[in-house]
Amino acid sequence: METAAITAWTFIAETPIPADIEPMLVSGEHPIAAYKTFRDSAVFTNKRLIVRDAQGMTGKKVELYSLPYSRVNMWSSENAGTLDFNAELELWTRAGHIKIKVGKGVDVRKLDNLIAQVVLAAD
């Protein structure tokens, strides 16, 4: 059964962890890796995925998505083929389906391993 994604993001490249992520973290939470998106960034912590999405003309309005790993039921990854430009990572959660397009600058297998480590540790 095909379900529509509740949201979709594109990870362009791995990037240094943004310094301003610290105020968003809870006690015992630490950042592991960060990826540049079109307008902002996505940060994997030991507890959740945080995606910041700057909006509007100036980018001052920021929408924040927080996905606890304990809510991920299943995931899949697909590497880019000969004619495909992007690889894909998909997450199925209690809330729905999330699709992440993975640009050429990101190693989808490294990302898949990161997801495996954090999701399986959350069980």
- 82-108: pLDDT as tens digits: 556 778 999 999 888 899 999 888 889
| CB neighbourhood size of 72 (10 A) | 20
pLDDT at residue 35 in the model:
94
Homologous superfamily in CATH for domain 5-19+28-122: Bacterial Pleckstrin homology domain (2.30.29.50)
Ranges of the chain whose pLDDT falls below 50? 1-2
Q: What is the DSSP letter of 67?
A: E
The full set of domain ranges for the chain reads: 5-19+28-122
The reported pTM is 0.84
pLDDT at residue 2 in the model:
47
On whether the CB atoms of residues 73 and 92 are closer than 8 A, the answer is yes
